[in-house]
Structure 1
Amino acid sequence: MPAQISFELPHAVAVSGAASGLGLEICQLLVDNGVYTVGVDLTDAAAQLKEAHGYHHVSGDVTEETTWQAVVNRLKDSGYHSYGLVTSAAILDVGLVTENTKAQILRTFDVNVVGTALAMKALIPLMVETGGGSIVAVASVNASFAEQQLALYNASKAAVRQLARTAALDHARQGIRVNVLSPGAMMAGLFQRHLESAADPDLFHKTRAKRQPVGRITSARDVARAGLFLLSNGAGALIGSDIIADGGLTTSFDFRTGEEGASI
């Protein structure tokens, strides 16, 4: 057996956007590790989690306070007193800002930003009551690096990043650790839908994969593992940190594949 190190996770964790993509992967890992997991999504629980021991689902809109009160009630009912939160619910509309309707603009910020803020508003008091907790706010590399045709998504994720970093300062002395997880493209969820919206999805995929130092799009499972690390006490020294989980995409301003004639 190879050498291993173990970190402790919160006993009960709420995860928004639990029915697909990164949220689903995080829920699966939490359940596999014996964590009482409350998944939150507009839709029903994913098929692989419906009968999973330790998984509990709240169907509801993350922009409604009643949804988060239901989550708090579930966590209290768990009998545990060590809590975590991962806010991975998000929507993405591809298009120019000149093409977006006011309804689209409001909905993007409602889900991506307001949903994150309401989650914190509901769970931080519960964490304070029990001596602390860990929060992972899922932003994106798009919070710092602009990407064409994603103006609303980029702006909303930048807001999530600063919301989380400020909350980290405001609540650090109450035992609350808030950090940011910023994925790049993942073969799941939002990127998958972005890919499918392209005129030539195969070409889009190949072009984006070539930008990655490893030559492939990062898996959602690998990003989910980074999220669990931030939840755990292994990340105890991290407060307000932004962990870039993008497979090296933003490590350089460019990645040379050799096709352009450069020496590598």
Structure 2
Amino acid sequence: MTTTPSIAFQLPAVVVVSGASSGLGSDLCQMLVESDVTTIGVDISDASAELKDRDGYTHVSGDVSEEKTWQHVVEILQSQNHASYGLVTSAAILHVGTLLDTSKEELERSLRINVTGTALAMKAMLPLMIGVGGGPIVAVASIDATFAEQQLATYCATKGAVRQLARTVAMDHARQGVRVNVLSPGPMMAGLFKRHMSSATDPGKFEATRANRQPGGRILEASEVASAALFLLSNGSSALNGTEVMADGGLTTSFDFRTGTEGASV
């Protein structure tokens, strides 16, 4: 009989995930539920078809930038009395265009959802975590928090703010057992990248070009990035606090990945 080597890490009893109705958030919620983690998804949209009516999943429909949404989440958690808590902030919006193409309203909306929404989620969950001796927070930023990307000025700026917000909260609450790490995805076949791709003149060419830039030659699936989030939520990542995990398939490892078409000896 052959066995496959494996390793097991412990996850929090309950995890709250913002941006739960699509893409990374939805995939992560499904993985958590399948791992027997009580999961609360938060999104302005209804629960996805894959999560609706699933045992162990509760959906809160609301704007992540509104305090009342997070008050509702806290009320649910307090009524359940869990032993440990986790949080993943993956709710975000993306506006495609240069700064000249961006209205004041679009800029403020990006800041409200991407930054304020993340901060309010942390502010709501921190007292619960501190009360049980700590807990893990995964703040989803982006490789665009560090690297500029054309036509994504507001997205890059807000994700940079999320990155520094998370790192500072990590230091503020480290002695209370709270760990905050940043998960920065690269392109993945999920909502935001797909919307960016669909805005291109030739979406097929856009996808092929972006896939060719990846060292592995393909765009990651959202489920692969969700697996990285699971690790950061688990006690297997207990040595990590205030760090950033670039879940980009190696895209940002090199300044110029060579495919061989340039005549380079690779």
The two structures have a TM-score, normalised by structure 2, of 0.98
Kindly provide the CA deviation profile for residues 57-101 of structure 1, in whole angstroms up to 9, marking residues without a partner as x.
000000000000111112222331200000000000000101100
3-state SS of 2:188 partner:
coil
Whichever residue aligns with residue 142 of structure 1, its letter is D
Separation of aligned partners in 2, 1:125 and 1:17: 21
1:91-110 superposed matches below 5 A? 91-110=93-112
Within the candidate set 158, 168, 173, 1:166 is matched to 168
3-state SS of 2:261 partner:
coil
- Flag structure 1 segments of 5+ consecutive residues without an equivalent: none
Whichever residue aligns with residue 176 of structure 1, its letter is V
Aligned residues of 1:136 and 1:227 also touching (Cα < 8 A): yes
Within the candidate set 38, 41, 47, 1:39 is matched to 41
Aligned to 2:206: 204
Separation of aligned partners in 1, 2:81 and 2:53: 20
How many correspondences in the alignment?
264
Whichever residue aligns with residue 92 of structure 1, its letter is L
Whichever residue aligns with residue 157 of structure 1, its letter is K
1:147-186 superposed matches below 5 A? 147-186=149-188
- Flag structure 2 segments of 5+ consecutive residues without an equivalent: none
Within the candidate set 76, 83, 86, 2:85 is matched to 83
Kindly provide the CA deviation profile for residues 199-251 of structure 1, in whole angstroms up to 9, marking residues without a partner as x.
00000000000000110001100000000000000000000010000001001
Aligned to 2:26: 24
Aligned to 2:125: 123
3-state SS of 2:162 partner:
helix
Aligned to 2:17: 15
Aligned residues of 1:109 and 1:156 also touching (Cα < 8 A): yes
Whichever residue aligns with residue 225 of structure 1, its letter is S
3-state SS of 1:157 partner:
helix
Aligned to 1:135: 137
Within the candidate set 66, 71, 74, 1:72 is matched to 74
Separation of aligned partners in 1, 2:54 and 2:80: 15
Identity %: 64
